Chains A and B, each alone.
Chain A
Amino acid sequence: MSGAEIAEAGRFVARLDGVGLGYGRTRALDGVSLDIPAGCLAGVIGPDGVGKSSLLSLVAGARRLQDGRLQVLGGDMADARHRRASCPRIAYMPQGLGRNLYPRLSVFDNVDFFGRLFGHARQERHRRIHALLQDTGLSPFADRAVAHLSGGMKQKLGLCCALIHDPQLMILDEPTTGVDPLSRRQFWRLIDRMRQDRGGMSVIVATSYMEEAARFDWLVAMEAGRVLAFGSPAELMARTGTADLDAAFIALLPADKRRDHRTVVVPPRPQPAAAVPVIEAESLTRRFDGFTAVDDVSFRILPGEIFGFIGSNGCGKTTTMKMLTGLLDPSEGQVRVFGRRPDPRDPGQRRRVGYMSQGFSLYSELSVRQNLDLHARLFDLPASGIAARIDEVATEFELQPHLDMLPGALPLGLRQRLSLAVATIHSPEILILDEPTSGVDPVARDRFWQSLVNLSRQRGVTIFVSTHVMTEAERCDRVALMHAGRVLISGSPGEITASRAAATLEEAFVGYLEASAGGSAGNEDGIPAGMPAAAPSGVATETASQPQTFALARLFAYARRETLELVRDPIRAALATVGSLLLMFVIGYGVNMDVENLSFAVLDGDDSVLSRDYALDLSGSRYFTERPPLTGYDDLDRRMEAGELSLAIELPPGFGRDVSRGRGVTVGAWVDGAMPARAETALGYVQAMHADWLARRLREAEGEAAAIGDYRLEIRYLYNPDVRSLDAFAPAVIPMLLLLIPAMLAALSVVREKELGSIVNFYVTPVTRLEFLLGKQMPYVLVAMVNLLLLVAFARYGFGVAFTGSFAAYLLGAFLYVIATTALGLLLSSVMDSQIAAIFGTVLATMVPASQFSGLIDPVTSLQGIGAFIGRIYPTTYFISISRGAFSKGLGVPDLARDFLPLLIAIPVLLALAAAGLRKQAR
């Protein structure tokens, strides 16, 4: 690079050249070339699904670059070394409120986790956390679990987590979607201050709110994976000759898209003849253990009215709507829909209501047509009319071209129209819509609202809609402003604006919010006025430019986080410990190889003294239980087929006579072979008994002459002289339980982050794959070791199995073993993409090998085929050997250590495979 180029590079924080990205057949980005200036607040604007998020995740390094060249902070993002070096200088906040936060962890723990990932020392970390929490007004809530924060608070916490390491580039993906107007204002004020304090920090923001974008320094407008235009907001407006950004954006669209846009016109509502309210709520209150989600809310809605419920995420809108639909029962107060209590068991009532829940909740595995068809059938539309009705709604909501696509392939705006189509397929009289336009761009949103207005004005449908977008609120006949579970004010948008003497509804809302915040002690969203912003760490601890390749601090950060998660979920910890004790009891006690009480019956065709003597030998044994004698061959067949008899003995007619005369005679014995293990033991018993009987006969008959050739075979049962099943099994059940439970715990740890979204933290922080895996593994190894101690104690004192070998060596072996079993779980977790598949895979990969191929019942040396191969490489085989050696064989360190080697090999192999299966970037 020449000097001029370096200088040039310094002016731009990111340079894209022909960047393309595709997911399967859809192209998210198509040849994007763009230079994003450094040191300013740059915005990416455009409707949903045009590739904004893809662009940002590429710049953040969270997604793998497919085509083109991308330089961020002066280096090539395709180069893993540059990504590692630059990720401490980049902060990334993905789309979705708090999607990269850990809901069970407290506010403090979340920020602390990120601080640890970036390797701050304790003192420095705490100083930064306190400064940031103070700055964002989150200090009073440091101990609250993230799951209980409001949308605005989550957003600020996300910002704290992003800022903890003083990034040079901050990337925010739709940071204010779903946040109330007051919080939104505070958020931007905060960003401004942070930028002032940290001179030169570049910020890239994606947004679909044009009014926000108007105050950015630089904008790029996108459409269908391409760049439409870029420049300052003023430049864009000047170029299009428009007065505001909304209009400018629409003017920038290609002609065919522009035609789609129509301004929403809301005709006045015809005065209803009879003003009987269709929905009534009276002092509605709903509490969830200890916290009040909805507090004394009342309203009445008239037929044909569009009633807007306005407020931030988490203010109680959804809970109220669930009570209206009968999904939740109110703790206090009443709801009446059509004059009656909503009753989930009344299908008649259901058919008159359409409900669209927050977020997309249709079946993504069914096509658009199949979704419509399913719901038409569920609402009991006459089968003959279904096809026509689907056509009708598809036309009405302009879904015709997409009928055979999967919803996942549609942009959000279309998906929301599909949800609305589904909610109206049965022509309901009331529509309850929970945030139907959340995350939908202005053009699509306007079309959606046009559909709503048509339904209300032309069909007289009553619409109850919640939103946090003020332009939508202004289209409602009446609105209720909601905050923290309470309705602040209710009335027509005009009345409310007038009541605060405000210019816009938004201003009026902010006014009411401020009044309410000032009135209550818990000023949760406010920033303390006049607070000096936290000094941007004058010691600005330059985070090492090249992060270490392996840092224990980052490993411990993940270990700590995983431990906290486990601690906050006591049910899981209890299941893992108490559960395995329970299993130990049931299995150790229940699996019994002693074959006793075998049922047998005799077909005695002789009925002589000798034949009865023969039978008596059997019935006298503790192994056999005699059943009524057999009456003939038919009886024998029938009773053996029914499984009533395990053994049948046939003594032929003339048995006694022939034996006495020394003539050859044959005793017949049939064993039930349907269960071979039992049959074999039974055969052994019968043979032994027969030999005994013969020897006794011989001694009686021949006396001392029989002594020639007489010998004894003395069988010594080693290690388990009483041949107690329990003594043989308890030590082998421990390895099995220490495989199944820890593997299952670990198997969900990675895949859960993938499914819930927090995996992105792994993508964009300096954590290496090994640090991530080992950190996650650590708490589960600890849990497994606690488990081991409990199980050993239970075997020793509960079952009375003697422990004869070296305990220290056993502990060491167990430690190696649980590292291997948790590594096996991690391996499954890192290659699977869904939790169901991980659970399924873990069961398949552990249950059969542990119970059948590892020597629990049949020794591995006796197995054959695939099973024998698996048995030889499976860690459980070796720990069963260690466990039996230490419990029963009295072995010490040198003897037990022989089996350590296979475990020592298994650990790095499994971990290496897990690391290979884990991707450091999304694809």
Chain B
Amino acid sequence: MRLANILNLGIKELRGLRRDRVLLILILYAFTLDVYAASNAMPETLHRAPISIVDEDGSTLSRGIADALLPPYFLPPRLISPHEMDSRMDAGLDTFALDIPPNFERDLLAGRAPVLQLNVDATRMSQAFTGGGYVQSIVAGEVSAFLDRPGGDPGPVALDLRARFNPSLDKGWFGAVTSLIDSISMLSIVLTGAALIREREHGTIEHLLVMPVTPFEIMASKIWSMGLVVLLASGLSLAVVIQGLLSVPLNGSPVLFLAGAVLDIFAMTCLGIFLATLAGSMPQFGLLLMMVLLPLQLLSGGVTPRESMPEIIRAIMFFAPNTHFVSLAQSGLFRGATLAAVWPQLLMLAAIGCTFFALSLGRFRRTLR
């Protein structure tokens, strides 16, 4: 192995990329607009949940409840008739429909414990739970205010709830970082994998092999050069888009995040080469790419929490570098954790990267034979 070869071949890769304008534009898009849109679109907490009210009571209290369901949590409630309710829910126009029964106010005052009904579209899981809780507490507040029991306080115990690290629970913060991580995975795989297939289809790989260059050197050069591009892009994206444009306050150390990124990129570029050795042609590579990226994106803990996944999925995803990188990013960027807290993730990333490297080098050597 000669370091000079790895360096020279890597420079060749960089020079080649510099001339590919379409790829450069797509890279730029993936690290700027893509991250921005994904983060910006995400609702903060419960956001603009569509709700409608069937007010069969028509009392002061029932109107008070309707008025209390306010943006930004809810879209302004729509007053509908009972028979409209089902069809609107069917059409997915509402996530919630609150039915206030006739004589609700009177029964309440008479201690007859009337029953309100909240219909929830449970196919929209993200709003179903949280929104149910919001409606519940808003109704409780209105009822208390109506009965003139300040603070809705049936007893003296208050609950002081605080969210640490992200007080307003802005999903966009973490959404931006998750989206950056997705771009890192995709680019690392595409830049090395698809480029390798292109070299094979155009015969340039073969040309390299008759020179005193080993497969190890070819692979290492692709990894460092493309990895560097992805790393620079992610650093810029973190500084300019996430901290600058989206002004996400980062609690922790970007250095730690970038250290994790280096290891993650290493693992992902190796994975790209591995996939390229599996695929016989570009169309096959495209399909393989989808099959790998989708689980990486949805199951690494960035979209839904890892601890609620079934055991088997957790076990599989334990071997995905993203899983550890996402958890490192959470701790490192938002909780302000230090190396002392996140070294296990770094270690895992390194271990996975080395395993991927060894596997793909083995396959790469074999396909070149």
A364 shortest CB reach to chain B, Å: 9
Asked if B295 and A677 make an inter-chain contact with CB atoms under 8 angstroms apart, the answer reads: no
The 10 A-B residue pairs with the shortest CB-CB distance in the complex, in nearest-first order = A867-B41, A347-B212, A673-B166, A673-B163, A684-B133, A720-B122, A593-B125, A590-B313, A365-B16, A717-B122
A849 shortest CB reach to chain B, Å: 9
Cβ of A589: which chain B residues have Cβ within 8 Å of it?
310, 312-313
Asked if A641 and B171 make an inter-chain contact with CB atoms under 8 angstroms apart, the answer reads: no
Interface centre among A586, A640, A664, A740 (most CB of B within 10 A): A586
Closest Cβ neighbor of A855 among chain B residues: B124
A104 shortest CB reach to chain B, Å: 10
Contacting B291 at CB < 8 Å: which of A322, A378, A582?
A: A582
Q: A671-B163, A709-B108 are in contact. Are A840 and B26 (CB under 8 A)?
A: yes
Contacting A707 at CB < 8 Å: which of B111, B190, B330, B334?
A: B111
Interface centre among B108, B167, B298, B369 (most CB of A within 10 A): B298
Among the stretches B46-54, B254-262, B349-357, the one at the interface with A is B46-54
Asked if B316 and A344 make an inter-chain contact with CB atoms under 8 angstroms apart, the answer reads: no
Cβ of A668: which chain B residues have Cβ within 8 Å of it?
160, 162
Cβ of A540: which chain B residues have Cβ within 8 Å of it?
none
Asked if A835 and B282 make an inter-chain contact with CB atoms under 8 angstroms apart, the answer reads: yes
Q: How far is the CA of A363 from the CA of B16 in the complex (A)?
A: 8
Q: Does A847 contact B (CB under 8 A)?
A: yes
Q: How far is the CA of A840 from the CA of B50 in the complex (A)?
A: 36
Q: Does B243 contact A (CB under 8 A)?
A: no
Q: A664-B158, A859-B50 are in contact. Are A587 and B294 (CB under 8 A)?
A: yes
Closest Cβ neighbor of B316 among chain A residues: A586
Q: Does B331 contact A (CB under 8 A)?
A: yes
Cβ of A362: which chain B residues have Cβ within 8 Å of it?
204, 207
Contacting B290 at CB < 8 Å: which of A599, A686, A744?
A: A744
Asked if B132 and A715 make an inter-chain contact with CB atoms under 8 angstroms apart, the answer reads: yes
B43 shortest CB reach to chain A, Å: 5
Q: A362-B204, A840-B190 are in contact. Are A865 and B41 (CB under 8 A)?
A: yes
28 contacts between A and B (CB under 8 A): A361-B203, A365-B15, A365-B16, A365-B20, A374-B8, A377-B5, A569-B281, A569-B283, A593-B304, A643-B335, A668-B162, A669-B159, A670-B164, A672-B164, A679-B169, A687-B133, A687-B137, A691-B136, A698-B155, A712-B115, A835-B194, A844-B26, A847-B186, A851-B303, A859-B50, A861-B48, A864-B43, A885-B91
Asked if B30 and A709 make an inter-chain contact with CB atoms under 8 angstroms apart, the answer reads: no
Q: How far is the CA of A591 from the CA of B111 in the complex (A)?
A: 44
Cβ of A148: which chain B residues have Cβ within 8 Å of it?
none
Asked if B330 and A674 make an inter-chain contact with CB atoms under 8 angstroms apart, the answer reads: yes
Asked if A836 and B23 make an inter-chain contact with CB atoms under 8 angstroms apart, the answer reads: yes
Q: How far is the CA of A867 from the CA of B11 in the complex (A)?
A: 38
Asked if B22 and A597 make an inter-chain contact with CB atoms under 8 angstroms apart, the answer reads: no
Among the stretches A90-98, A217-225, A887-895, the one at the interface with B is A887-895
Q: Does A839 contact B (CB under 8 A)?
A: yes
A601 shortest CB reach to chain B, Å: 14
Interface centre among A379, A681, A706 (most CB of B within 10 A): A681
Closest Cβ neighbor of B75 among chain A residues: A861
Cβ of B337: which chain A residues have Cβ within 8 Å of it?
641-643
Total interface residues on A, using CB and 8 Å?
Answer: 160
Contacting A357 at CB < 8 Å: which of B2, B160, B203?
A: B203
Cβ of B143: which chain A residues have Cβ within 8 Å of it?
709, 711
Asked if A895 and B156 make an inter-chain contact with CB atoms under 8 angstroms apart, the answer reads: no
Asked if B308 and A597 make an inter-chain contact with CB atoms under 8 angstroms apart, the answer reads: yes
Contacting B156 at CB < 8 Å: which of A363, A366, A594, A664?
A: A664
Q: A591-B299, A680-B46 are in contact. Are A673 and B157 (CB under 8 A)?
A: no
B20 shortest CB reach to chain A, Å: 7
Asked if B283 and A642 make an inter-chain contact with CB atoms under 8 angstroms apart, the answer reads: no
Cβ of B91: which chain A residues have Cβ within 8 Å of it?
885, 895, 898
Q: How far is the CA of A68 from the CA of B357 in the complex (A)?
A: 57
Q: Does B360 contact A (CB under 8 A)?
A: no
Cβ of B20: which chain A residues have Cβ within 8 Å of it?
365
Q: A576-B287, A709-B149 are in contact. Are A717 and B154 (CB under 8 A)?
A: no
Asked if B43 and A858 make an inter-chain contact with CB atoms under 8 angstroms apart, the answer reads: yes
Q: How far is the CA of A599 from the CA of B306 in the complex (A)?
A: 12
Contact bitstring A417-440, B, C-beta under 8 A = 1, else 0: 000000000000000000000000
Asked if B283 and A745 make an inter-chain contact with CB atoms under 8 angstroms apart, the answer reads: yes
Q: A366-B16, A662-B156 are in contact. Are A843 and B190 (CB under 8 A)?
A: yes
Q: Does B64 contact A (CB under 8 A)?
A: no
10 further contact pairs, Cβ within 8 A, besides A659-B155, A711-B107, A858-B42:
A638-B341, A659-B157, A666-B160, A673-B167, A675-B330, A694-B154, A717-B120, A736-B294, A842-B286, A891-B90
Q: How far is the CA of A884 from the CA of B108 in the complex (A)?
A: 37
Asked if B194 and A836 make an inter-chain contact with CB atoms under 8 angstroms apart, the answer reads: yes
B96 shortest CB reach to chain A, Å: 10
Q: How far is the CA of A357 from the CA of B117 in the complex (A)?
A: 77
A206 shortest CB reach to chain B, Å: 25
Interface size class of B (residues with CB under 8 A): 35 or more
| A-B residue pair count with CB separations less than 8 angstroms | 475
Q: Does B126 contact A (CB under 8 A)?
A: yes
Closest Cβ neighbor of B137 among chain A residues: A687
Cβ of A898: which chain B residues have Cβ within 8 Å of it?
91
Asked if A687 and B161 make an inter-chain contact with CB atoms under 8 angstroms apart, the answer reads: yes
B203 shortest CB reach to chain A, Å: 4
Q: How far is the CA of A842 from the CA of B291 in the complex (A)?
A: 13
Q: Does B195 contact A (CB under 8 A)?
A: yes
Asked if B207 and A357 make an inter-chain contact with CB atoms under 8 angstroms apart, the answer reads: yes
Q: Does B362 contact A (CB under 8 A)?
A: no
Contacting A681 at CB < 8 Å: which of B40, B111, B130, B289?
A: B130
B286 shortest CB reach to chain A, Å: 5
Interface residues of B in 198-251 (CB under 8 A from A): 198, 202-204, 206-214
Cβ of A888: which chain B residues have Cβ within 8 Å of it?
123
Q: Does A231 contact B (CB under 8 A)?
A: no
B214 shortest CB reach to chain A, Å: 7
Q: A365-B19, A590-B310, A898-B91 are in contact. Are A327 and B209 (CB under 8 A)?
A: yes
Asked if B290 and A659 make an inter-chain contact with CB atoms under 8 angstroms apart, the answer reads: no
Q: Does A350 contact B (CB under 8 A)?
A: yes
Q: How far is the CA of A740 from the CA of B9 in the complex (A)?
A: 34
Asked if B128 and A717 make an inter-chain contact with CB atoms under 8 angstroms apart, the answer reads: yes
Cβ of B133: which chain A residues have Cβ within 8 Å of it?
683-684, 687-688
B94 shortest CB reach to chain A, Å: 9
B39 shortest CB reach to chain A, Å: 9
Q: A350-B212, A643-B335, A717-B120 are in contact. Are A839 and B8 (CB under 8 A)?
A: no
Asked if B108 and A723 make an inter-chain contact with CB atoms under 8 angstroms apart, the answer reads: no
Contacting A572 at CB < 8 Å: which of B43, B46, B284?
A: B284
Asked if B212 and A711 make an inter-chain contact with CB atoms under 8 angstroms apart, the answer reads: no
Q: Does B34 contact A (CB under 8 A)?
A: yes
Q: Does A517 contact B (CB under 8 A)?
A: no
Q: A587-B294, A591-B298, A595-B308 are in contact. Are A714 and B115 (CB under 8 A)?
A: yes
Closest Cβ neighbor of B7 among chain A residues: A377
Cβ of B80: which chain A residues have Cβ within 8 Å of it?
none
Q: Does B56 contact A (CB under 8 A)?
A: no
Asked if A680 and B299 make an inter-chain contact with CB atoms under 8 angstroms apart, the answer reads: no
Q: How far is the CA of A744 from the CA of B291 in the complex (A)?
A: 11
Cβ of B173: which chain A residues have Cβ within 8 Å of it?
676
Q: How far is the CA of A868 from the CA of B305 in the complex (A)?
A: 24
Q: Does A538 contact B (CB under 8 A)?
A: no
Asked if A844 and B34 make an inter-chain contact with CB atoms under 8 angstroms apart, the answer reads: yes
Asked if B169 and A857 make an inter-chain contact with CB atoms under 8 angstroms apart, the answer reads: no
Q: Does B359 contact A (CB under 8 A)?
A: no
Q: How far is the CA of A821 from the CA of B107 in the complex (A)?
A: 54
Cβ of B207: which chain A residues have Cβ within 8 Å of it?
355, 357, 361-362
Q: Does A781 contact B (CB under 8 A)?
A: no
Cβ of B285: which chain A residues have Cβ within 8 Å of it?
839
Q: Does B37 contact A (CB under 8 A)?
A: yes
Interface centre among B11, B111, B211, B285 (most CB of A within 10 A): B211
Q: How far is the CA of A857 from the CA of B156 in the complex (A)?
A: 38
Q: Does A747 contact B (CB under 8 A)?
A: yes
Interface centre among A673, A684, A842, A855 (most CB of B within 10 A): A673
Asked if A677 and B126 make an inter-chain contact with CB atoms under 8 angstroms apart, the answer reads: yes
